[in-house]
Amino acid sequence: MEPVLDWEARYLEPSVPWERGGLNPAFLAWRDWLSNHSGTAIVPGCGRSPELVALAGIGWQVTGVDLSPTAVGYQQERLAAAGCQGEVIASNLFEWQPGLPADLVYEQTCLCALNPDDWSAYESQLARWIRPGGTLLVLFLQTKDPDGPPFHCDIDDMRRLFASRRWDWGGAPLRSDHPMGVHELGFRLSRC
């Protein structure tokens, strides 16, 4: 489970292409649902994305996980500045487990940043991390490019990866255009 990039080095560059400079439109579309629910939430590969603090700001007890000390430090500062509770852990997500399964995982541009050979192990981690009946909000990046990262998350492949014995797929996807010139398809999955 070796990272496909030196992510820490990327965060030391002046800008990174995956950051959109605001909340993901899918997150905004889910915000009413998120505001009407609460509990524990994990954001794997949280990077510097603002959704971690936004979740904490509407009452979720958040845990971010990321390999990059720069990203972890950034999120810790943002949480503190917002006066929000939460923890951000510097760890390889394949080697980390929560104390208890969470109510929610918010997955945004982490899957597509992992080697596809590791996707099955990642799905198993997510299945372990989420309690039965819990929710996976997931954004599948659509690049149509065979190379990566970011790796294309073909929806038929995703339906096989997040199979119905473990995941109940919700309704139609939400589409978010991405500043990288690609788009994401957002789904709300329930853990069976």
Ligand X SMILES: C[S@@+](CC[C@H](N)C(=O)[O-])C[C@H]1O[C@@H](n2cnc3c(N)ncnc32)[C@H](O)[C@@H]1O
- Reference 182, options 11, 16, 17, 3; nearest CA is 17
Cβ(98)–Cβ(35) below 8 Å: no
Q: Does 63 bind ligand X (CB under 6 A)?
A: no
- Closest to ligand X by CB, 92 vs 164, is 92
Binding residue for ligand X, selected from 55, 88, 104, 110, defined by CB under 6 A: 110
- Closest to ligand X by CB, 121 vs 164, is 121
Cβ(166)–Cβ(192) below 8 Å: yes
Cα-based distances in Å from 168 to 53, 90, 97, 125:
27, 30, 23, 17
- Closest to ligand X by CB, 51 vs 103, is 51
The minimum distance between CB 109 and ligand X, in angstroms, equals 4
Q: Give the C-alpha separation, 82 to 59, whole Å.
A: 12
Stretch that binds ligand X, among 64-72, 75-83, 127-135, 164-172 (CB under 6 A): 64-72
Q: Does 47 bind ligand X (CB under 6 A)?
A: yes
Q: Does 94 bind ligand X (CB under 6 A)?
A: yes
Binding residue for ligand X, selected from 85, 92, 97, 120, defined by CB under 6 A: 92
Stretch that binds ligand X, among 59-67, 77-85, 97-105, 163-171 (CB under 6 A): 59-67
- Closest to ligand X by CB, 110 vs 158, is 110
Cβ(71)–Cβ(77) below 8 Å: no
Each as own residue / partner, the long-range contacts of residues 168-174 (CB below 8 Å, 24 or more positions apart, any chain) are 168/192, 173/140, 174/25, 174/26, 174/29, 174/30
Residues that bind ligand X (CB under 6 A): 3, 7, 18-19, 45-47, 49, 65-68, 71, 92-94, 108-110, 113-114
